[in-house]
Structure formats: C-alpha cells, structure tokens
Structure 1
Amino acid sequence: MKKYLTIDIGGTFIKYSIMEENYRVLEEGSIPTKKEPELFLTQLTTLAVEHKEKVDGIAVCIAGFINPQTGENTDFSVGEHFRAYNLKEELERISGLAVTIENDSNCAALGEMVVGAGRDYKDICLLTIGTGIGGAIVIDGHLWRGSHFKAGEAGLMRLGGENSEYAGATSVLVKRVSKVAGKTVDGPYVFEHLLEPEIAAVYQDWLEKLSAVVGNMAMLLDPQVVLIGGGICQEPRFIRDLKAKVYELYPHLLEYTEIKGCETGNQAGRIGALALHKEEMI
C-alpha cells in the first residue's frame, strides 16, 4: 500500500504524519513553526528529505489563498513566511516527489467529507473557530475555491463594523474573559466558570456574534450541513449552545440545515490534503 507524507502547516506548529492511502496514520509528529522565512522553509524541506525514501508523495495544507496548480499563496492576512516561497515548487525540487498544496480549511472540509461528520453530505460549509475564523465550501462534493481562491473566507467578512474573526474567534472570547477575570485564562477556564455572571455575559455576546457568522453562511449558500471545527469543539456544551443560538436567530434553518461538530480532530486537514493528492494522481 502506498504511503504519503502529509503536512499541516499552522501558525504555532507544523504537524506531520505518514499516512497510508486509506488514511491510516503510521507515524506522526510536530515541530514549532519558525517565523523567519528561510528557517521556515528549511523546516519543511528537512521533513521532505527525511521522509522522501519511504513515501510516494507529499500533501500539504496551509493557511492562505492557495492556487493549487501553481502553489502560489496570495493571502494578504498571513505571515510573510507563509508567502515568501512557493512551497509546492521547493518541496518538489528537494524531494523529487509530486506535491499537492491546498488551503487548510478547504482540506479540513474534504477530510470531514471523506471520513468525518460530512461523509453523508455533498453540500457543506465548514467553519474552523480558533485564533481566527477559517472557512470552506463544498458544492456537489467538490471544493468551491472561487475565482481568486478566496471562497469561504468567513473571517474576513464584516460583522457589526469589525472582521467577523475578531468578533467570533475563540481567541477573542479568551481575551475578553481574561480581562474580566483580571488574569490570563484559557478556553477550558471559560467553560468552567460560566456560572459567573460577568463571564456568562461575555460568552453569550461572543456566541451571538459567532452564530450570526454561521447563520449568514448558511443563508447565503444553503448547504445541507454547517460543520464546526477547532479545539473549542472539544467542549461538550459548545456545539449545543451554538446550535440553539443559530436556530434562535434563524429559526427557519432548523428545518433544512444541520449544524455539527467536526469528528476528525487535528487530522482533518492532513486527511483532506491526501484525498486531494490521490485525486490529482489519478
């Protein structure tokens, strides 16, 4: 069975796996992401060189407006290290292997469609809630990238005069609760202290703004399901609270648009990237 090096390039960590073509993970690891462009490139080329003799291809997901044919990243909102080099060209040159590269949210949507919460649907919106808000759109089982590879970028929409990712991102919730608590807190702290009125008020305000993003995407695109990803989905009550608020704001959606948490965790992007790679190699 063929094996592949799959790489999920994040702002904090570069996570990688050796996967079989059936998406079974044989080994995996992670390294902190370097911000200096040359060091960042060296991290990735080193991974490719270390594994090139035991894999049949490389599949990469990364934040940005990615042209999957050329590998060019034209996103103005990501760090310079994500844009300074054409990673597809560099990794193919150093490894001699075929390389597929795609936007991380797009890959996450495909990963969920292949083996996760989206496997029973053909029309999907995915929103990843984290430091910002990422998004992806699948129509009739295929990615909709848009004319300039910018489709699905929900975090760049305006909501009440501000970018929606600055209203509904998890990082915003944590920052606001930290201010109320008078100390730096994390996501679990928020959910452990929701009985405190001030924290509950911050959470409800944040939840309403995020629900507007979810509802607006559902209204605009009319998908069968909106999938919600990000570490916050590990909090048992979050998806329940989000669904209740979305259906409160947009009650008609209850009849025809489902809202579900993602199931494949931090492997979603790598699974989706591999699915794309296999499709390209046919």
Structure 2
Amino acid sequence: MKKYLAVDIGGTFIKYSLITGGYHVLEEGDEPTLKDPEQFLDQVKNLVRRYCQDICGIAVCMGGFINPVTGENTDYSVGENFRRYNLKKELTDAFGMHVMIENDSNCAAVGELVKGAGRGARQLCMLTFGTGIGGAMIINGGLYRGSHYKAAEAGLVKLGFCRESCSGNTALEGESAGATSVLVKEVSHALGRKVDGVYIFEHLDDPVIFGIYREWLKKAAMITGNMAMLMDPEKVLIGGAVSHQPRFLQDLSEEVYCLYPQLKAYTAIEACRLGNQAGRIGALYLYMKAYEKEEADELDREYI
C-alpha cells in the first residue's frame, strides 16, 4: 500500500497527514508555522524527514499564486517564508521524490470534488471566508487555474463605490470586504473590545451586532452571487470556520437569491464537508493525476 505525505501550510499552522492513495488518513498532526524563511524551510524539511522512509511522494497546499509545474509562487501578499524558497525544488532536491505544490483554495475545491460536497458536479466554485476570501473553480470536472494561476481570486475583486469620510471623494471599496475578519474587526470596534466569530453568531440578537452583520452579509452575498453569475456552476461551496454556522449559510443563501432570484432554480449554495482535510485530499489527488495517472484514473471511477 503506497503512502504519501500531504501537507497544508497555513499562515498559523502546518497541518499534515500520512495518507494512502485511496485517501485514508493513517496519521495526522499540526505545528505552528515558523515565520523566518530559513527556519520555515528547515521546518518543512524536518517534517518530510520524519516520514521519508515510508512515503513515495509529497503533496503540498499553501497560499499564493503557484505554478504547480515549476513551484514558483508569485503572490507578494503572502509572507516571505512562503515565497523566498521554491518548496517544490527544495523538497525534490533534498528527498529525490515527486512533489506536488498547489494553491490551498484550489486544493480544497478539488478535495470537495473528490470526497466532499462537490461529488458528482462538473461545474463548481468554492469560496472560503476567513482572514481573506479564497476562491477556486472547477470547470468540466477539472481545476481551472487561469493564465497566471490567479483564477477565482474573489478576495481581490472590488464590490463598488463608497464615499470616503475625510475627503468626500468616491473610491472603490477595499478588497476582501466580505471576509470574516472584516466582520470581527467591525464588531470588535463597535463594542470596544475584541470578540470572535463565535461570539458574534451567539449574540445576533444584539441590535448593534446584527446591524453590522447584515451590512457585512450583503457584501459576502454580492461576491458569492457575482461568482455564481459569471461561472454558472451547479453548486457554490462555502468554506471557512463560518461555514459551520447554520445561520450564516441560511442567511447567505437568502441574500444571494434576493440579489439574483434566478439562481435559486439552478445553483445550490452548500457548506463544504471535509473541513481542514479538504486541502490535503485535493493536493494528493492532484499529485496522483500528475505522477500516477493510471491509479488516479481508477480513483476517478470510484470517487468522481
């Protein structure tokens, strides 16, 4: 039975799984992500070193605009630890085995397609609401990356014009306006103390919190609806911790269908199902398609 190391590199934690080609997790763990680029590189190498005698490949998902062939990350909004070193080259040279590296949102969407809420769909988009807004597209059953590996970056779109209070001039509303972090920041500011998303959803009966939530929800719904209108998918999958809040999925769906009533008849809005395993499963699937195609095609017949 072949085993692989699947690694989800986040800004706060590195999550990893020892996993089979059939997506059975044998072991998993996590550790805080080191910020210093050299220490970070050593950290990832040490993680692989622990399992290198047992595995035949490495599948990595992480933030950035990533060329999966070269491993180059051209996203300068991510931390320097994510882009100073080419992890694909570094790990390949160090351990002499194949390495797949791909954007984390892309991997999560592929994971949901393979084993989660996207199974059976051919046209699918995913939005992850968190610190920013991640996005991914599945078109004709395959991942669509775009010409520069920047497709579906929903967090970078502008929502519309807003009036700046100081100058009175109009300006485009900032990026990631519908991100969960924005909601938390605005509620914390209004209350004069730091709160988290769980607190917000537990206190939506507070008029102040509810008012901020409704305004934020409109922006989240506009991004979701715009993605659905542009792509015409069978489903829009919603990820991030907020997707576990049933109230949010219900309110978001109602708001989207209010903006675009026609979508209700043919585009479902659902929560992702795989949680933080989605990215690792997706990364492994992409590894298999790149380096073990016959086995991957066999898995396709079982899962997709």
Quick check: 1:49–1:94 contact (8 Å CA) kept in 2?
A: no
1:13-162 mapped onto 2 (5 Å cutoff): 13-160=13-160, 161-162=172-173
- Aligned partner letter, 1:106: N
* Cross-structure match for 2:247: 237
SS at structure 1 position matched to 2:100: strand
2:188 to 153, 178, 202: 178
Deviation of the 1:171 alpha carbon = 0.6
Deviation of the 1:107 alpha carbon = 0.3
SS at structure 2 position matched to 1:268: helix
SS at structure 2 position matched to 1:64: coil
Partners of 2:119 and 2:182 lie apart in 1 by: 31
- Deviating beyond 6 angstroms after TM superposition, the runs of 4 or more aligned structure 1 residues are none
- Aligned partner letter, 1:141: G
Instruction: Return the TM-score normalized by structure 2.
Output: 0.91
- Aligned partner letter, 2:150: K
Partners of 1:231 and 1:4 lie apart in 2 by: 27
- For residues 9-37 of structure 1, the C-alpha deviation after alignment (integer angstroms, 9 at most, x for no partner) is 10110110101111111111111111111
Deviation of the 1:164 alpha carbon = 3.8
Partners of 1:118 and 1:52 lie apart in 2 by: 32
* Cross-structure match for 2:273: 263
- For residues 26-62 of structure 1, the C-alpha deviation after alignment (integer angstroms, 9 at most, x for no partner) is 1111111111111111111111111110111100001
Between structure 1 and structure 2, the one with the greater Rg is: 2
- Aligned partner letter, 2:208: E
* Cross-structure match for 1:274: 284
1:222 to 227, 232, 236: 232
1:189 to 187, 199, 202: 199
* Cross-structure match for 2:301: none
SS at structure 2 position matched to 1:194: coil
- Aligned partner letter, 1:153: E
2:219 aligned with 1:209:
yes
SS at structure 2 position matched to 1:159: coil
- Aligned partner letter, 2:120: D
Deviation of the 1:5 alpha carbon = 0.3
* Cross-structure match for 1:247: 257
SS at structure 2 position matched to 1:40: helix
Q: Which runs of 5+ in 2 are unaligned?
A: 161-171, 294-304
- For residues 175-194 of structure 1, the C-alpha deviation after alignment (integer angstroms, 9 at most, x for no partner) is 11111222111111000100
Partners of 2:237 and 2:174 lie apart in 1 by: 20
SS at structure 1 position matched to 2:56: coil
Identity score, percent? 59
Q: Which runs of 5+ in 1 are unaligned?
A: none
Deviation of the 1:209 alpha carbon = 0.3
CA RMSD in angstroms comes to 0.8
- For residues 214-268 of structure 1, the C-alpha deviation after alignment (integer angstroms, 9 at most, x for no partner) is 0001111111111100011111211111101100111111111111100000000
Partners of 1:235 and 1:164 lie apart in 2 by: 24
Deviation of the 1:65 alpha carbon = 0.5
- Aligned partner letter, 2:270: K
- Aligned partner letter, 1:173: L
